[in-house]
Structure 1
Amino acid sequence: MKAIFDERQWKHDPKHFLLNGKLSPNPEQPERIKVLHAGAQAAGCDFEAPKDAGLGPIAAIHSPEYLSFLQTIYDRWQKIDGAGDEVIPKIHPANRSDSYPESAEGQSGFHQVDGSCPIASGTWEAAYWSAQSAVTGADAMLGGARAAYVLSRPPGHHAFGDLAGGFCFLNNSAIAAERLRLGGMRPAILDIDVHHGNGTQGIFYERNDVLTVSTHADPARFYPFFWGHAHERGAGAGMGYNLNIPLARGTNDDEFLAALETALTRVRAFGADVVVIALGLDTYIGDPFKGFAVTTPGFARIGAALAELNLPTLFVQEGGYLCDELGHNLTSILNGFQNK
């Protein structure tokens, strides 16, 4: 299987995020790259660097106002007297409206939805090349590839069109899906991360040309809390084109696979001719976020179930955090898919 990754993605090295009122070590560490890279290679992946398709494919999803913010905020932040090494907002608007602050501090609160997406010196460059990796993966699908794996890091599925959040800055899965759609394909995005892909849902919520489906821990008591509930089905032209399948904490292999079958049925009903898998490995029983109880053999079963769609499949890396089995879990799902 072809795999895509750019070395510049190492440059995002977040130190902190807010956890229960404490400034805690950020779990979205660059070391994830090394572990995931090895896991993909163990599944026979052959890595290549992405091509630079420019800002156009990214701007097809994200507003120019937001992209300007991401490109300039760190340098502007450093001009604040006594500023910290990372851009972390302390204030958020109760209602986002036409009012747009001029200050770096105000804009950070406007564009960063939570305290888990700190921006440092290398963040924009890493996020840019993470997105370009997804674009190159989409182009492989347009070129006739059956499958490809994109090591997108930082991840993307919590990023809205003009909001960063949950370790995410550019929505790699959405960017890839839009690239596929503009290339003449009919994409579905299937998010199997333990956290709901709220940014992806928000981007496509009023559209009927991209299907969004997510299996995740019930957000009633789990991040992102305000999105991912079963009644959220889309709006306007997008009504019926979004499916959320919230699951109980501790969901095991069999329970997850049963929910996945419901998700796959919806993808088939949409008539998709390509599927983007927003690949979260944080459903693992030993993941630091401890949401689900999927096992390493369970990932092989998930990969095999995804192969049953018999569609060109683009795996875009989302969550999955440092633990002993992270790389093995990636190997397991990719082998399960390839060996079906």
Structure 2
Amino acid sequence: MLCFYAPDTAAHDPRFWMLRGVPMANKETAERADCLLAGIAAAGLTATDPPVADRAPMHAVHTARYLHFLETAWDEWQTAPGAGAEVVANLHPQKADQTYPSGITGRAGWHMADTGCPLGQHTYAAALRGVDTALAASRAVLYGAGAAYALCRPPGHHADADTAAGHCFLNNSAIAAQALRAAHDRVAILDIDVHHGNGTQQIFFDRADVLTVSVHADPDAFYPFYLGHAHEVGPAGTNLNLPLPLGSDDAVWLDAIDRALDRIAGFAPGALVLALGLDAHENDPFRGLRVTTPGFARAAARIRAAGLPTVIVQEGGYLSEDLTHNLASFLRGWIGTA
């Protein structure tokens, strides 16, 4: 399997985060990539530095206003009196019937849904290289590879067309799907991160050409809270959410993946984007689900058996030794060496 990783994404190394009112160290550190690279190596694979891509699919997915914000926000933030080292919004407007502000404090609130996505000096450049990584894997699949893996940092599936959230700035999975649409009338996205891919759902919710399916912990009491429920099907019926009870184990998770694959087969897409989160693991600090390390290998084998050209885009997974083992397990399951 072809694997891609841009080393310069390590320049994005966020510091600020807040959980239940307590400021603490951000969990989406550059060190995560080292653990994931070790997982690639443990599976007997190597990662290639992707070239700078034609980012037209990114511009099709995200608004020009939002991309301009990401590009300029940090520099403008530094001109504000007493500004911190990272752009962290302290306002979170509901947006409906509200007016877009001109000042950086207001625009930060408009474009940043929570405090989990501090924007540093190098964040936008790193996010662009994450997009290049996803597009390199997409290009490989478009040119005949059965599957390709994109180790994207920062992750992307919580970012919608106009908003950063949950460590995510540019939606790599959505951008990969948009790229695949150049050759396929229909594309499916399967998200197996423990958190619902709310940004991806919002981007494609009104479209009939992209099916979005997410298997995740029930958002009633789990991030992202406000989206990810079973009744959210979309105008064309091209969105399927499979929320699982908190603490669900391998059997429940794999059964939901089977149901997701049945729906994808019925949609008959030409290609698949797999948003791969590894935070469904039983040792994840938030304990959303209780998937074991071998469970990731079994999931990989089932998804590969669907027989679709597949772009695998890395999403979540908190920093730990388990991250290495879980990615290695998944990749071995995919290539048949588990």
TM-score, length of structure 2 as denominator length: 0.97
Correspondence for 1:42: 42
Structure 1: distance between partners of 2:265 and 2:312: 18
Matches within 5 A, 1:238-317: 239-317=236-314
Structure 1: distance between partners of 2:43 and 2:203: 32
SS of equivalent to 2:66: helix
Are 1:187 and 1:275, in contact at CA under 8 Å, matched by a contact in 2?
yes
How far 1:54 sits from its partner (Å)? Answer: 3.6
Unaligned runs of 5+ in 1: none
Matches within 5 A, 1:1-340: 1-97=1-97, 99-184=99-184, 186-235=186-235, 239-339=236-336
Greater mean alpha carbon deviation, residues 218-227 or residues 23-32? 23-32
Q: Moved runs in structure 1, 4+ residues, more than 6 A?
A: none
Deviation sequence 1:125-164 (CA, Å, 0-9, x none) = 1100001100111101100001111000100000000100
Structure 2: distance between partners of 1:59 and 1:97: 25
Structure 2: distance between partners of 1:187 and 1:152: 20
Amino acid in the other structure paired with 2:123: T
Question: What is the percent sequence identity of the aligned residues?
Answer: 49
How far 1:186 sits from its partner (Å)? Answer: 2.7
Structure 2: distance between partners of 1:97 and 1:207: 24
How far 1:44 sits from its partner (Å)? Answer: 2.5
How far 1:55 sits from its partner (Å)? Answer: 3.5
Amino acid in the other structure paired with 1:204: F
Residue 57 to residue 47, structure 1, CA distance change in 2 (3 Å): same
Output the aligned Cα RMSD: 1.1
How far 1:308 sits from its partner (Å)? Answer: 1.4
Structure 2: distance between partners of 1:156 and 1:326: 18
Structure 1: distance between partners of 2:116 and 2:20: 11
Are 2:164 and 2:170, in contact at CA under 8 Å, matched by a contact in 1?
yes
Structure 1: distance between partners of 2:72 and 2:98: 21
Deviation sequence 1:16-73 (CA, Å, 0-9, x none) = 1121012111111110000001101221223111121244221110010000000000
Amino acid in the other structure paired with 2:141: M
Unaligned runs of 5+ in 2: none
Report how many residues are paired. 337
Deviation sequence 1:176-230 (CA, Å, 0-9, x none) = 0000002335311000000000000000000010110000000000000000000
Structure 1: distance between partners of 2:109 and 2:333: 42
Structure 2: distance between partners of 1:181 and 1:57: 9
Amino acid in the other structure paired with 1:264: L
How far 1:95 sits from its partner (Å)? Answer: 2.7
SS of equivalent to 2:221: coil
Are 1:96 and 1:110, in contact at CA under 8 Å, matched by a contact in 2?
no
